[in-house]
Amino acid sequence: MEYKPIRKVVSGNYAAAYAAKHARVEVVAAYPITPQTSIIEKIAEFIANGEVENLQYVPVESEHSAMAACIGASAAGARAFTATSAQGLALMHEMLHWAAGARLPIVMVDVNRAMAPPWSVWDDQTDSLAQRDTGWLQFYAENNQEVYDGVLMSFKIAETVNLPAMVIESAFILSHTYDVVEMIPQELVDEFLPPRKPLYTLTDFDNPISVGALGTPADYYEFRYKIAKAMEDAKKVIREVGKEFGERFGRDYSQMIELYRTEDADFVFMGMGSLMGTVKQAVDILREEGYKVGAAKVRWFRPFPSEELYELAKNVEGIAVLDRNFSFGQEGILFNEAKGVLYNTDAHPIMKNYIVGLGGRDFTVADVKKIAENMKAIIDKGELDVEVDWYHLKR
Amino acid sequence: MQIPENVKKRLSIPADEHFYAGHTACQGCGAALGLRYVLKTYGRKTIFTIPACCSTIIAGPWPYSTLDAPLFHTAFETTGAVMGGIEAALKAKGYKVKGEDGVMVVGWAGDGGTADIGLQALSGFLERGHDALYIMYDNEAYMNTGIQRSSSTPYGAWTTNTPGGKKHFLEKRHKKKVIDIVIAHEIPYAATASVAYPEDFIRKLKKAREIKGPSFIQLFAPCPTGWRAPTDKSIELARLAVQTAYFPLFEYENGKYKINMPSPKKEPKPIEEFLKLQGRFKYMTQEDIESLQNWVLREWEKLKKLAEVFG
Ligand SMILES: Cc1ncc(C[n+]2csc(CCOP(=O)(O)OP(=O)(O)O)c2C)c(N)n1
Ligand code: SF4
């Protein structure tokens, strides 16, 4: 069958819901939280309209139970999906470890939202980044199309490496903003993503398995190594699946870091998620004004694309890392990771951390331009500037 | 030993064994006994969910399993939710759930994992109507972490965080009536059972397998280690708990209460008979004992009334 996309104008959340539908998820267990709600509402609508078959929707009483129910479903062999934000994700924390430890390929959309207090429902990456060490793959979407594509690819990748995957989109900027999304006809999704074939399931009554039993000090260590190894192997799988996706559907995701006009760049902006759309636009304008700049969008934060970062860092004088997140007592989380990767290499560009857009603070092309000026001055001076720049701070 | 088929048929407790020997429960453990009966009744086509509790340990460390049936070990507070997810997956995949030839989904959790930290997930499980059975084995404290009180610990009991002492720092709240909370969800089937009355327990297990929707069994499961009782007294203690009406056997089925006491005509024995065999009650004053006795009789009267009015 020839690929002819179906174009729909949808929000990021609806893109996620359609992707879950097209992935033929079998169990959805979820709990409402702004700005995630319209994902699960849409899925409920699919069921109500008879648009999906064999989908069990479990309206749980909390996010902790949402993840627990997905874990049970996935262990019983089903393709399980959920979505949440901020407080909900934090409440799931224990079970995020459980999903990864039990090697269950659950896919979850996290709509990035700032952690309270103070209450906020707006965009901020600290919620998902705080789950960094749980053993989940993390994909950051720049736009609604990437939300859709990310969910489909994540199922395939997760089910190959037997680890859960999180697809992350920005509160409101994507979740509630409508845009054209090219959707894939069901038959072609089915070819790309066949039904899940679990290695082990609880439904094998002839060979009953026990999942998650006590691991003594004599064995626990190896279990952890296997997760570490699966995460490392996931890089290859991500690149292959990303390439296959490009070949089938025209959007290539073989690069874990998407590079934009970086070939001859003096310095680049690095960041994740929707803010990189703004950055790309600013790069075009800055280029016209004579700045040799580019953008490096980190698509996958886990596993971390160290190799690609090194290749990039070798060829630029500076990297301005834009973090819509913060680790108290340290610095921006992406900045911290990127620096750590490069320390053990011979690539040591000047790196500067800008904390931007926390709690949904507007981050615009004008802001990128100001940061460009600042970054250029630092590079011209040729000195390290180690201070974290709280860029928007009202003084 | 081979049991002839014709004899097997007549046994009141199934001869089939799906609970392996060599497990790590203490001697006289009521929980281990209870789990064995569940496996005897349901066999291999049963998916167990077991949270953090003594049974996690009894089930064996990797790569062993005491249970000859699929088992998912889960986080302490998640039994109800995980069972719900398993049942949803079975439905999505077209498995027959329940009935003699169907798959049984069973949650097996302690009183702490049920009455305390897992109460929310239990409530969600019951309220959403999942087709599965939740068994709370009640040993009346957090045994796995070293005998701390739970809300199911009785009035007057010593535990390691109600240690008695000079200030008489004992458990001073009566046992939470989890089954009443369960019944408030208006589920089709809820029952109490005891390891001292295996036929009654197995009958209830079989009923739960036939009834559509969620069911709940609160199984009284003595813990000699935590109760500071001799290991050969477990069954006697479980029996006395019933005979004193401290833990009466009853069923709630589609809105109707039915008492299943072994000797229905007999008046309850004094609570002291149950208390005196256990070191955990040694700090109780006469006043404490009276308080517990009054509670037992009051609750027993209440249950009898319920069975009378809604029988
Ligand atoms: C979230 C969480 N808190 C605490 C614990 C520690 N913990 C493990 S088992 C247990 C007590 C279990 O008590 P109960 O459910 O009554 O079962 P029992 O051990 O008595 O059979 C506790 C407190 C845990 N595993 N997880
Ligand atoms: S401590 Fe009690 S419940 Fe736990 S294994 Fe020993 S006897 Fe059984």
Are residues A242 and A338 both part of a single domain? no
Contact B218, B225 (CB under 8 A): no
Nearest 5°: phi and psi at B265? -80, -25
Are residues A163 and A298 both part of a single domain? no
Q: Is the residue at A303 inside a domain? A: yes
Are residues A289 and A374 both part of a single domain? yes
- Enter the tokens of residue A323: 């973090």
The confidence score (pLDDT) of residue A384 equals: 82
How many CB atoms within 10 Å of residue A107? 33
* B31 touches ligand 2 (CB under 6 Å): yes
Residue type, A343: Y
- Enter the tokens of residue B82: 């995980």
Least confident of A1-10, A367-376, B3-12, B224-233: B3-12
First to last CA, chain B: 44
Half-sphere exposure in the Cβ direction for B213 (13 Å, CA): 12
Are residues A171 and A208 both part of a single domain? yes
Whole-number Å distance between alpha carbons of B165 and A265: 74
Average pLDDT over residues A341-369: 98
Average pLDDT over residues A37-64: 97
Angle in degrees, CA A339, A342, A343, rounded to 5: 85
* B148 touches ligand 2 (CB under 6 Å): no
Q: State pLDDT tens for residues B151-166.
A: 999 999 999 999 998 8
Q: Collect all residues with Cβ–Cβ distance below 8 Å to A326 and sequence separation of at least 6.
A: A126, A332, A333, A355, A358
Interface of A with B in 173-192 (CB under 8 A): none
For residue A81, the 8-state DSSP code is E
SS3 A69: helix
Whole-number Å distance between alpha carbons of B148 and B152: 11
- Chain A interface, best mutation among B82, B87, B96, B108, by max A CB count within 10 A: B82
Q: What residue spans define the domains of chain B?
A: 26-309
| Chain B interface includes A221 (CB < 8 A) | no
Provide the phi-psi class of A282: left if phi over 0, else alpha when psi is between -120 and 50, else beta: alpha
SS3 A377: helix
Closest CA to A239 of A149, A297, A300, A195: A300
Whole-number Å distance between alpha carbons of B189 and A49: 33
Are residues A216 and A281 both part of a single domain? no
SS3 A29: strand
Residue B62 with chain A: CB contacts under 8 Å: 210, 213-216, 219
- Enter the tokens of residue A33: 């939280």
First to last CA, chain A: 60
Contact A27, A159 (CB under 8 A): no
Average pLDDT over residues A349-376: 98
Which of A249, A274, A292 finishes a domain?
A: A249
| Chain B interface includes A92 (CB < 8 A) | no
Average pLDDT over residues A73-78: 98
| Chain B interface includes A204 (CB < 8 A) | yes
Least confident of A185-199, B165-179, B270-284: B165-179
Specify the residue with its C-alpha closest to ligand 2, atom 3.
B223
Residue A130 has pLDDT above 70, yes or no: yes
According to DSSP H, which parts of B71-185 are helical? Answer: 79-92, 111, 119-127, 178-183
Are residues A157 and A15 both part of a single domain? yes
Give the pLDDT band of residue A386 (cuts 50, 70, 90): confident
Q: State pLDDT tens for residues A304-317.
A: 999 999 999 999 99
Contact B143, B223 (CB under 8 A): yes
Domain of residue A311 covers 257-389
Are residues A65 and A126 both part of a single domain? yes
Residue type, B57: I
Are residues A147 and A224 both part of a single domain? yes
Residue A59 with chain B: CB contacts under 8 Å: 128
Q: What is the DSSP string of B220-281?
A: E---HHHHT--GGGHHHHHHHHHHTTSS--EEEETTEEEE--SSTTSPPPPTHHHHTT-GGG
Ligand 1: residue of B145, B149, B153, B159 to mutate (most ligand atoms within 8 A of CB) is B145
Contact A55, A25 (CB under 8 A): yes
The confidence score (pLDDT) of residue A1 equals: 79
The confidence score (pLDDT) of residue A262 equals: 98
For residue A132, the 8-state DSSP code is G
The confidence score (pLDDT) of residue B75 equals: 98
Specify the residue with its C-alpha closest to ligand 1, atom 11.
B142
Are residues A351 and A274 both part of a single domain? yes
Are residues A234 and A279 both part of a single domain? no
Average pLDDT over residues A355-375: 98
Are residues A190 and A321 both part of a single domain? no
SS3 B21: coil
The confidence score (pLDDT) of residue B1 equals: 66
Ligand 1-lining residues (CB < 6 angstroms): B 31, 52-54, 76-77, 110-113, 139, 141-145, 150
> Domain of A177: which CATH number?
3.40.50.970
Contact A109, A147 (CB under 8 A): yes
> Domain of A309: which CATH number?
3.40.50.920
- Enter the tokens of residue A66: 């949402």
Nearest 5°: phi and psi at B109? -135, 155
The confidence score (pLDDT) of residue A21 equals: 98
Residue A135 has pLDDT above 70, yes or no: yes
Which of A191, A218, A249 finishes a domain?
A: A249
C-alpha B246, offset from chain centre: 14
The confidence score (pLDDT) of residue A125 equals: 98
A179-183/A6-10 β-pairing: antiparallel
Q: Where are the beta strands (DSSP E) in chain A?
A: 6-10, 27-29, 56-58, 80-84, 107-112, 137-140, 165-170, 179-183, 210-211, 257-260, 267-271, 293-298, 300-302, 318-323, 350-355, 389-390
Query: What CA–CA distances, in Å, run from A166 to A87, A154, A158, A203, B273?
Result: 16, 8, 10, 26, 57
Give the pLDDT band of residue B144 (cuts 50, 70, 90): very high
Q: ipTM of this predicted complex?
A: 0.97
- Enter the tokens of residue B52: 């953090």
Are residues A64 and A187 both part of a single domain? yes
Q: Collect all residues with Cβ–Cβ distance below 8 Å to A279 and sequence separation of at least 6.
A: A269, A271, A295, A297, A322, A368
The confidence score (pLDDT) of residue B3 equals: 85
| Chain B interface includes A207 (CB < 8 A) | no
Q: State pLDDT tens for residues B41-56.
A: 999 999 999 999 999 9
Which of A182, A214, A249 finishes a domain?
A: A249
Q: What percent of chain A has pLDDT over 90?
A: 98
Residue B148 has pLDDT above 90, yes or no: yes
Q: State pLDDT tens for residues B190-216.
A: 999 999 999 999 999 999 999 999 999
The confidence score (pLDDT) of residue B282 equals: 96
Among the partner residues B57, B93, B124, nearest to A65 by beta-carbon distance: B124
Q: Answer yes or no: pTM beyond 0.95.
A: yes
For residue B114, the 8-state DSSP code is I
Quickly name the fold that domain B26-309 has. Answer: Rossmann fold (3.40.50)
The total number of structural domains in chain A stands at 2
Q: Is the residue at A1 inside a domain? A: no
Residue A115 has pLDDT above 90, yes or no: yes
Residue type, B120: Q
Beta bridge partners of B169: B164
Whole-number Å distance between alpha carbons of A302 and A324: 17
* B54 touches ligand 2 (CB under 6 Å): yes
Residue B295 has pLDDT above 70, yes or no: yes
Q: Is the residue at A395 inside a domain? A: no
Whole-number Å distance between alpha carbons of B20 and B68: 7
Q: How far is the CA of B24 from the centre of ligand 2 (A)?
A: 9
Q: How far is the CA of B133 from the centre of ligand 2 (A)?
A: 22
Whole-number Å distance between alpha carbons of B78 and B125: 10
How many CB atoms within 10 Å of residue B258? 14
Q: How far is the CA of B145 from the centre of ligand 1 (A)?
A: 6
Whole-number Å distance between alpha carbons of A253 and A262: 17
